[in-house]
Amino acid sequence: QDVKSWLQAKKECRSLGGNLATIRNFSAAVDLLKNFWDERGGFWIGGSDQGNEGTWTWRPSGDPISKKDHWAPGEPNNGKGHTSGKEHCMELRSNGYVDIPCNFQRRFLCEDVRRKPTPSQKVSPGEISTPVDGSNVTDSNATSIASINEDYNSTSTKGPDTCSYCKEVYTVKT
């Protein structure tokens, strides 16, 4: 089980040539991870409000994250009780984004920022598969193409290989 704090996850993603993932299509991200949702919680992604409380941005780009952008009900709330005022890092859960303390241990989703899809590599809108063996997926509006690399064994049926030459790689660290 590969769980890390947000900062440790960010460092590992960088060592792999990327960053914690920026979510461009929430529904596709949730679908991509559907075989991984369990009692261990969600996944670290690249959102944070560190350094500017209440202003959420994708790191390292600085692109803003609106409070209307797929937050789970009641989020972001910056914590209650013992975590009050200490929730500055973003976790992706199946019901939306959640702000939690950055030192919590979570699985994480890395995005390979060295590679970007070219227009000829896009597939049709709405075409989504959820591989469990390293085959590829794409988001529902064909702007982001991904491949999963992980050590996950599943008996579930894999979706069709939608793009054998995908360029934007997401690595699920579970």
pLDDT in tens, 142-166: 223 233 333 222 222 233 232 222 2
- The tens digit of pLDDT for each residue in 104-157 reads 999 999 988 766 544 333 333 333 333 333 333 333 322 232 333 332 222 222
* pTM, entire model: 0.69
Residue 81 confidence (pLDDT): 80
Identify the bridge partners of residue 173 per DSSP, sorted by sequence position.
108
The secondary element (H helix, E strand) that includes residue 117 is none
How many residues are listed for the chain in this entry?
174
CATH number of 6-173: 3.10.100.10
